[in-house]
Structure 1
Amino acid sequence: MASNTTPHHSGNSSLKFTKGAQGMKIYPRNFNIVWGNDTRYWNVPKNTDLAAELCQVSWLEVTGGVVGTKAAKSYEVGFSVSLNPDAFGWGKYPIYIMIKRGNEEKATWTKIMINPNQKGQFEIKGRLVIGSDHQIEGSDDGKLSFGLYEVWSGKWKGGLKIHHAYVKEC
């Protein structure tokens, strides 16, 4: 186990949102990863642009966030991922992408099934659609939070690499 006193990796969940055609890339060092400081479960790189590799967990929870988003805009969040040849635990149970904006209690959840035979790098994504009537009165901190989850099955899974996440305005 890593020498850090907590088993969880804490990243920077308050990066300033930058708008770009391909969206803003967020690398794994900036994620909060449950069990991410324990090398039995995750390999989180010290280099900012390398993939985080899931060794094995029964509780997948990877979260992040950006500040500086706008209340009346819609956003897409995605993760660029790949599976190692020896990946296991995928395909039977869905994973979920969660996105929420500001201090809202309501989040948008997107259910995704990962094909265990998927080769190469691929994207999984969710979208938070915000109508023009959607305002967060007095509590708009401009923060967009997101996460990747599979915490309900209790089944072990491994061999997933997370190359980066992205946030883009739709």
Structure 2
Amino acid sequence: MSTTKPHHDAESDPELVQSQGDTIIFYPRALNIVWGSDPRYWRLPPDQEKTRAVELVQVSWLEVTGSRENLVAGKTYEIGFKISLTQEAFGWNGSKVYVMAKQGRRGRYTWKRASLDAFTNGNPVEIPQADDKLKIQITPNSDSTIYFGMYEVWSGKWKGGLKIHNAYIREA
């Protein structure tokens, strides 16, 4: 009997993580997505469209994570996600999404909170918003890996209609 894993593990295809100037772009298939391999909950882009957005059908536990090694000590980086909501989006009213990041496995998380219910026009936006960016400074002589993620796991509400276009780490 074969078993399939319900969660999507980040793929290591170099096409899915791209450097564009001072920004590192992580396309959705380069991220870990809880319940991401179950089509009842997520629509992953097919192989021929790897860099297309992933679409949330419905979940009550939103957890999308990634990491990047070997960032430059002394530099400050912004971490965020480019998202949009479909016209059929539901469950976001009053629910806050948290974008969180930390330096190294033992680091402490820094976070920013975003409300998505204002983004129903379908246009992609960055969260956190421009006036409240999540920033991490890489301290010397320590693990220079940034671990980051987007979460909404506390409300217990079912939600859907979210598209994740990419995640990014950008020099601040």
| Larger mean Cα displacement after TM superposition, 102-111 or 32-41 | 102-111
Tell me which residue corresponds to 1:20. Answer: 21
Amino acid at match of 2:166: H
Tell me which residue corresponds to 2:32. Answer: 32
Aligned partners of 1:165 and 1:144: how far apart in 2? 13
Amino acid at match of 2:35: W
TM-score, normalization by structure 1:
0.85
Q: 1:28 to 1:104 in 2, by over 3 A?
A: same
Q: 1:59 to 1:27 in 2, by over 3 A?
A: same
The CA RMSD over aligned residues, in Å, is 2.3
Aligned partners of 1:149 and 1:32: how far apart in 2? 12
Gaps of 5+ in 1: none
Report the alpha carbon displacement of residue 116 of structure 1 after superposing the two structures with TM: 4.5
Aligned partners of 1:68 and 1:13: how far apart in 2? 16
* Contact kept? 2:13, 2:30, Cα under 8 Å: no
Aligned partners of 1:149 and 1:51: how far apart in 2? 17
Report the alpha carbon displacement of residue 130 of structure 1 after superposing the two structures with TM: 2.4
Report the alpha carbon displacement of residue 128 of structure 1 after superposing the two structures with TM: 2.4
Amino acid at match of 2:169: V
- After the TM superposition, list the runs of 4 or more consecutive aligned residues in structure 1 that deviate by more than 2 angstroms: 12-19, 115-118, 128-131
* Contact kept? 1:17, 1:68, Cα under 8 Å: no
Report the alpha carbon displacement of residue 17 of structure 1 after superposing the two structures with TM: 8.1
Report the alpha carbon displacement of residue 85 of structure 1 after superposing the two structures with TM: 0.6
- The structure in which a higher percent of residues are helix is 2
Aligned partners of 2:90 and 2:125: how far apart in 1? 17
Matched, 1:121 2:124: yes
- SS of 1:148 mapped into structure 2: strand
Q: 1:17 to 1:106 in 2, by over 3 A?
A: farther
Report the alpha carbon displacement of residue 124 of structure 1 after superposing the two structures with TM: 0.6
Q: 1:147 to 1:14 in 2, by over 3 A?
A: farther
Tell me which residue corresponds to 1:73. Answer: 75
Aligned partners of 1:122 and 1:34: how far apart in 2? 22
Matches for 1:26-65 after TM superposition, within 5 Å: 26-46=26-46, 47-65=49-67
* Contact kept? 1:7, 1:36, Cα under 8 Å: yes
* Contact kept? 2:94, 2:117, Cα under 8 Å: no
Report the alpha carbon displacement of residue 59 of structure 1 after superposing the two structures with TM: 0.0
TM-score, normalization by structure 2:
0.84
- SS of 1:29 mapped into structure 2: helix
Report the alpha carbon displacement of residue 91 of structure 1 after superposing the two structures with TM: 2.7
* Contact kept? 1:44, 1:52, Cα under 8 Å: yes
Aligned partners of 2:145 and 2:12: how far apart in 1? 9
Q: Tell me the matched-pair count.
A: 162
Gaps of 5+ in 2: none
Matched, 1:5 2:4: yes
* Contact kept? 1:17, 1:24, Cα under 8 Å: yes
